[in-house]
Amino acid sequence: MAVFEKKLSQKLSIDDTVVLTCVIEAAQKSADHMVYSVRIQYGPKPENSWTLQKRYSDFVALDTELKIANIDVQLPPKKVFGNFDREFVAERQQGLQKYTDTILGHHLLANSQAVKKFLSPDSYTLNQTEIALQHVSMVFRSENKWDVIEALPDIGWRLRKEYILVKPLDQPKIKEILAWCDYGPDKFMPEKELAAVLRIFPSIQHPNIYPVTFATANESGGLVIQSFCEKGTLRDLICKCKPKVHYLKKYGNPKSYSILEPVAIKTFGKQILLTLKFLQEKCIPYGHLHAGNIIVEGQVCKFLDLQNWFLGLPSYYRPFFVQFKKIQTTESIDVYCFGQLLYEMTFGSQLYAATCDNFPPSCPPQIRSVLESILTSEACKNGLPTVADLLSHP
C-alpha cells in the first residue's frame, strides 16, 4: 500500500512533522528596539510561506523554553549599549539565523511545541490538554467505567496527542493510561467505521503487542486505554528516565545512556521483525515503529500505538524517509524505522539524521551489516530489504 496516494479524507489537518524553514530577511529599528523580519516556509512549496516580526526578546523567550532539553544551541548574547550599531545589528542577525538553523536542523527541537508556536503561532493556539479532557469527559459519559486521575502533558513528542492517567471504577488502585489524539492529515476512514475498527483492538492478542483495554473514536479523534507501565518505554529505559517527565528533558540530552547488550538487541530485533511480519499477514498497517512505541517487560518487547495509522497520524521519522523515492510502502517504512530503532538500541542515542554512512568501529559486525543495508545513503536510494530478508539475516 502506498503511503502517498490520494485518500478520501473528509477533514484536512496540519502535518506537524513537515519541516519548517526560516530566513531572517531584514532588521529595522522600531522605537527603542530592533525588529527582525522572519520569513517561514512550510514544506517545499514557496507559496506556503508567511512573514513574522520578531524582537530579540522573543528569541530569548524561545531559548528559555528550550533549555529544558539541555541541548547546546548558541543564542547571540545580549548587549546593553550599541544595540543599533550597523555592524552589531548585522552580526546579531547572522547569529539569530544560525541559531534558528540549528534548532530546525534538530529533529526533536524542530518538532517541539515551543518552536512550532514561535514560527507558526496561528496554528498552535489551542490548549490541547483541555481539549483532550473535554473529549474524554464526553466519552466517559457513555463509557462510565473510569475516573480521571491526572493529565500528563508533554510526556510525548506528538503535539496533538495527550496522555491522561485514569483508574477503573471497579479497581481504583489500578493505574491505566489513556492516549487521546486528534485526527491526522492522512485520515481516510469515516468516523463510524473508524470507531468500529478501534473497538476491535482489545481483542488483538499477540505476545509482542501491548494489550488494549478500550479504544474508540468520535468526530474529532480517537482514544486508547492501556495499562500504565511504570518503567516507561524502551526509549525511557535507554535514556534512564521516568515516563512522566517532559519529553524534551527526557530525550534531548540525557546525562547518561543505557546501551543494550548484543544478545538483547538480537532478541528484541527478532521479536520486532516477527511482529511486523504478523501485522503484514493480518493486513494491519503500522508505520510507527520507534523506541517510544515499544514497551519492555522482562525479555519481551511489545508494540504500542497500533491506532496511529488509522487515525491518520504522520510517523515520527516521516521527515527523514520522505526524502527517498524508494521508501513508499508500509513495509519499506517499517524497515526504515527498524533501522533507526536498531541504531538507537546499539549506540544508546538517536541518529537524528536520515542516513548514516559511517558507523562507530565498536559496532558488532552482524549489527553493522543490517544497519548498512537500511540506513546508508546507497540503501535508501536503491531500495531497502524486506522484513523477510531481515529475518533470514544470520
Q: How confident is the model at residue 14 (pLDDT cuts 50, 70, 90)?
A: confident
7 pLDDT higher than 60: no
| Euclidean distance between CA atoms 288 and 340, whole angstroms | 12
Region 123-152 average pLDDT = 94
Domain with CATH 3.30.1520.10 in the chain: 20-123
Superfamily of domain 128-391: Transferase(Phosphotransferase) domain 1 (1.10.510.10)
Region 86-90 average pLDDT = 85
338 pLDDT higher than 50: yes
pLDDT at 83: 67
pLDDT at 379: 98
pLDDT at 246: 97
* pTM assigned to the model: 0.92
CATH match for 20-123 among 3.40.190.10, 3.30.1520.10, 3.90.1150.10, 3.40.50.300: 3.30.1520.10
pLDDT at 6: 39
Least confident of 1-5, 120-124, 321-325: 1-5
**Is the Cα dihedral 70, 316, 206, 389 positive or negative?**
negative
Say if CB 99 and CB 109 are below 8 A apart. Answer: no
H runs (alpha helix) in 295-386: 308-311, 318-321, 330-347, 365-375, 377-382
In three-state secondary structure terms, 365 is helix
Domain with CATH 1.10.510.10 in the chain: 128-391
- Span 208-266, pLDDT tens digits: 999 999 999 999 999 999 999 999 999 999 999 999 999 999 999 999 888 899 999 99
